[in-house]
Amino acid sequence: MKIVHAASEVFPYMKTGGLADAVGALTGTFADLGHEVSVFLPGYRAALAHPSAAGAERRFRLKIEMGDQYLSGDVLAFSPRKNLTVFLVCRDEFYDRANPYGNGERDYEDNADRFIFFCKAVAETMRLADLGADIVHTHDWQAALLPLLLREAERRFGVTLAMKTVFTIHNIAFQGLFSAGCFARTNLPDELFSMDGLEFYGQVNFLKAGILFADRVTTVSPRYAKEIQTPEFGCGLEGVVQTRIDDLSGLINGVDTTVWNPATDALLPAHYSAADLAGKKVCRSSLLKTCGLDPSFTGPVFGMICRLTEQKGVDLVLANAEFFASWDCKFVVLGAGDKRMETALHKLAADVPSKVFMCAKLDEAMSHLIEAGIDFFLMPSLFEPCGLNQMYSQVYGAVPIVSRVGGLVDTVRDADEDRANGTGIMCAPNVASLRDALLRAHRLYWDNPRYAAVQQRGMARDFSWGTAAAAYEALYRDAL
């Protein structure tokens, strides 16, 4: 099949979260399966600086209609592996910035224009390059206008650009909501600014366009596919999702084992596997040393890696500060984002510097060392479309402590409830239930044979992209 992806993040060129990992792995896996894959992302400063982009060639110079004016852009392309072409949509005014969506304090004011331009540029490049896609697969609000804009371009130019379109919701909480004024820059017919179109309580909602106008809609776990049909998790779009119930499916993400495998991980000081965990001990002391904690500590080490947002249950962890202060354990946090949470976590670390370490940055290498060096991974999310770190944790022999929401339910089994198959500890997303889970973790750790059994079962699970890719392939074929 000829498959075109469009997303605002693709690992390793730009990553702020799981979207990048998922699109990076999905495109690579399909290329390796022999499909002809193209992937579009904005030509962010970091993406252009990536070593693989060094040999990128300018393929097209675009003139993109944005309301009543035309904006120019360049499309660069390179091929990092067989069957895969990466297209970077460049326009310095929009993408030559340190961060993809905002300056840390707030979102960029021109985000609507940046991603209208991106989607239009993808459609235009597909036309100019005559890509003739079987499937166009777009991801999240930043690329959500593409299915609709493609059909518009086909109508306008009398061509076929894509047989079928698939839209994946990686997180329904991010919708790309903008003031009505930006609608003119889509150059879509006025009647589409209505309840049955992009309008959402007087604003323009990009995500809604993806849900309504793609041929198929997917999200990243079966449980989340159900949850987003309810007011509790649908973030106001539950009614819109319900209209697509016949075309909606939940496909769990996989783990890219070329990146996340403790037996080969180039970012670790030592390698290990389920059969020989000696290397994990080396990683553990290396982690503790890196964090200024006692490397000879023998009790449980907890870890957490996430964007600092309410979603990730950071406040539930902070409300359990007393656990980390009073119980014999260590706790390492890697997370950037919300400044209040960052400050509170720094304070926790300052209060008990011999036990808690806080690292407030984006650090890929550190994230691997944490997964390898810890005994328990904390992920008490309030909602979680799929979640990757609970899978990485199992693969790396760290027992995940997760709340019973979304993809966490589909990928973790509670070790107390299911003694024969459990791979983690599950709780409700509230302070008391998390405290109970932390105490259960502590007990499990000191029950060595039981901890080892839970750890081994986690490491034996197959989260590789093979299964996930097969599900997407079946979906594509079914759509066609």
Residues that bind ligand ADP (CB under 6 A): 17-19, 21, 305-307, 334-336, 362-364, 367, 386-389
Residue placing its CB nearer to ligand ADP in the complex, 144 or 182: 144
Residue placing its CB nearer to ligand ADP in the complex, 192 or 386: 386
Residue placing its CB nearer to ligand ADP in the complex, 21 or 410: 21
Q: Return the closest-CA partner of residue 7 out of 118, 112, 130, 151.
A: 118
Q: Output the CA torsion sign for 30, 32, 33, 38.
A: positive
We find the least distance from the C-beta atom of residue 362 to ligand ADP, in angstroms, to be 4
We find the least distance from the C-beta atom of residue 60 to ligand ADP, in angstroms, to be 31
Residue placing its CB nearer to ligand ADP in the complex, 71 or 314: 314
We find the least distance from the C-beta atom of residue 314 to ligand ADP, in angstroms, to be 12
We find the least distance from the C-beta atom of residue 306 to ligand ADP, in angstroms, to be 5
Q: Output the CA torsion sign for 211, 212, 213, 217.
A: positive
Residue placing its CB nearer to ligand ADP in the complex, 92 or 364: 364
Residue number of the CB atom closest to ligand ADP? 18
We find the least distance from the C-beta atom of residue 97 to ligand ADP, in angstroms, to be 19
Phi and psi angles of residue 135, each rounded to the nearest 5 degrees, phi first:
-125, 130
We find the least distance from the C-beta atom of residue 103 to ligand ADP, in angstroms, to be 17
Residue placing its CB nearer to ligand ADP in the complex, 318 or 336: 336
Dihedral Cα 352, 354, 359, 365, nearest 10 deg: -160
- How far, in Å, CA of 383 to CA of 225, rounded? 12
Residue placing its CB nearer to ligand ADP in the complex, 192 or 314: 314
Residue placing its CB nearer to ligand ADP in the complex, 93 or 107: 107
We find the least distance from the C-beta atom of residue 248 to ligand ADP, in angstroms, to be 20
State the SS3 of 120-176: HHHHHHHHHCCCCEEEEEEECHHHCCHHHHHHHHHHHHCCCCEEEEEEEECCCCCCC
We find the least distance from the C-beta atom of residue 384 to ligand ADP, in angstroms, to be 7
Containing 53, the helix (H) or strand (E) segment is none
Question: Tokens in use for 279?
Answer: 């290397």
Only one residue has tokens 């390898």, namely: 372
We find the least distance from the C-beta atom of residue 225 to ligand ADP, in angstroms, to be 16
Residue placing its CB nearer to ligand ADP in the complex, 250 or 335: 335
Go through 245-277 and write b for each residue having 16 or more CB atoms within 10 A of its CB, e for each that does not.
eeebbbbbbbbbbebbbbeebeebbbbbeeeeb
**224 contacts 250 by C-beta, under 8 angstroms:** yes
**33 contacts 473 by C-beta, under 8 angstroms:** yes
Question: How many residues appear in the chain?
Answer: 480
* 3-class state of residue 406 by DSSP: helix
Which residues are CB-contacts of 210 (< 8 A; sequence separation ≥ 6)?
A: 138, 140, 141, 143, 144, 145, 146, 147, 167, 169, 217
